[in-house]
Structure 1
Amino acid sequence: MKLNLWRSLSAISLLVAIFGVGPVVAEPLDKVPEASAGLFHPARITKVPEAPEDKPFAEHFIVFHISSGDAFAQKLVLNNAQNLANFYGPDKVVIEVVAYGPGLRTLFEENAYSKRIQRMAKEGITFTACANTMKAMGRDQPSLNKVAKVVPGGVVRLTELQEAGWTYIRP
């Protein structure tokens, strides 16, 4: 196999030497094309996220998403978020967990991890719930964990945080 490869490369080198075929170079453009109108949303996008007032020294901005109703998946997201908070320290990282679809069950008041989520929120981790999913499930704000914040759409929230420079993690 190596011998065949070597022979092929030798043959190509010989042809280039005989016929003087040089490298292929693209001609420079006379005019640089402009970006399509409406393609980007520069008013919403920032290269580096801005630290919130309560965490002015934050260097890392992480968003997790949970869309699974599976207890193991919920535990994995919570473990990952907690591990990041422990590693960087509460002043250096901003963490948000966005729940939508079946993953909204993570933020139900009756969820097995309810007390853990409340403790994590006290440590500075934010938990947001998708209003679209709440409506589809027939749930209202009082049925959620008391630390959950409601956003119009979970996917919209993920999109906007990523556009603002946040690191997206889906365990």
Structure 2
Amino acid sequence: MHFELKPMPRPRRSLLKGFVGGVAILTASSGHTKEKPISPIHRVVFQVDSNDETLMKHAISGAVNISRNYDQLNEPYAVEIVANAAGIAMFRSDISPVGETLSMLRKAIPTLSLSMCGSSKTIAEQKEGHELPLIDGVVVVPFGIVRLVELQEKGWSYIHA
């Protein structure tokens, strides 16, 4: 941070008899007065916790709208979809009703991340008796709910699809 000394206007003698010396005020300046302020990155996380195709499409539609808006404004952004509970069906390559759409979306939005709850995945695998096949690019996190908390604590906007 840069500090700059600025002189105070001289007081009238009649108001301050016996005043000796000068007074200065410290003002804080970022030093970037001539540059355009940098836009903060827009960060949005969508939670999908249902195997309802309509809700999955809401998350996808929201990601597309965010992308269109901030691309047009030339502002940085990041989008993450976190699937937990029954919502993990969204990221399963064997049953996802939106698998092909997600593949196209990942190519269209480079800042898109897909996170699956590892706990929900383990429960489904135990129930079904086999490892779940995932869509390319899906990252398994230990707990989807914890991922949501951590992103919100870092300033991400939360949207429940």
Settle same-fold status: TM greater than 0.5. Answer: yes
The answer to whether the aligner puts 1:75 opposite 2:63 as a matched pair is no
Aligned to 1:166: 156
1:152 alignment partner in structure 2? 142
Which residues of 2 match residues 1-171 of structure 1 at below 5 A? 59-89=41-71, 92-110=76-94, 111-122=96-107, 123-124=109-110, 125-138=112-125, 140=131, 143-171=133-161
Kindly state the Cα deviation for residue 112 of structure 1 after the two structures are TM-superposed.
Answer: 2.2
Q: 1:101 to 1:80 in 2, by over 3 A?
A: same
Structure having the larger proportion of residues in strand: 2
Taking the aligned partners of 1:148 and 1:70, their CA distance within structure 2 comes to: 19
Report deviation, 1:70: 0.6
One-letter amino acid of the counterpart of residue 114, structure 2? F
Inter-partner Cα distance in structure 2 for 1:121 and 1:149 = 13
CA contact (8 A) 2:93 2:133 kept: yes
Contact kept? 1:126, 1:148, Cα under 8 Å = yes
**Distance in 1 between the 2:40 and 2:48 partners?**
23
**What is the RMSD computed on CA atoms of the aligned residues?**
2.0
Q: 1:119 & 1:58 partners in 2: Cα distance?
A: 27
Deviations 1:23-42 (A, max 9, x none): xxxxxxxxxxxxxxxxxxxx
Question: Are the equivalent residues in 1 in contact too, given 2:53–2:98 (CA < 8 A)?
Answer: no
**Total equivalences in the alignment:** 115
Post-superposition offset of 1:58 = 6.0
Please list every run of 5 or more consecutive structure 2 residues that lacks an aligned counterpart in the other structure.
1-37
* Uncovered stretches (5+) of structure 1, i.e. residues with no partner: 1-55
**C-alpha spacing 1:144/1:57, structure 2 compared with 1 (3 Å):** farther
Question: Which SS does the other structure have where 1:169 is aligned?
Answer: strand
Identity of aligned residues (%): 27
Comparing both structures, which one devotes a greater share of its residues to helix?
1
| 2:17 alignment counterpart | none
Aligned to 2:16: none
Tell me the secondary structure at the aligned position of residue 137 of structure 2. Answer: coil
Matched residues in 2 for 1:81 and 1:58: separation? 18
1:155 aligned partner, one-letter code: I
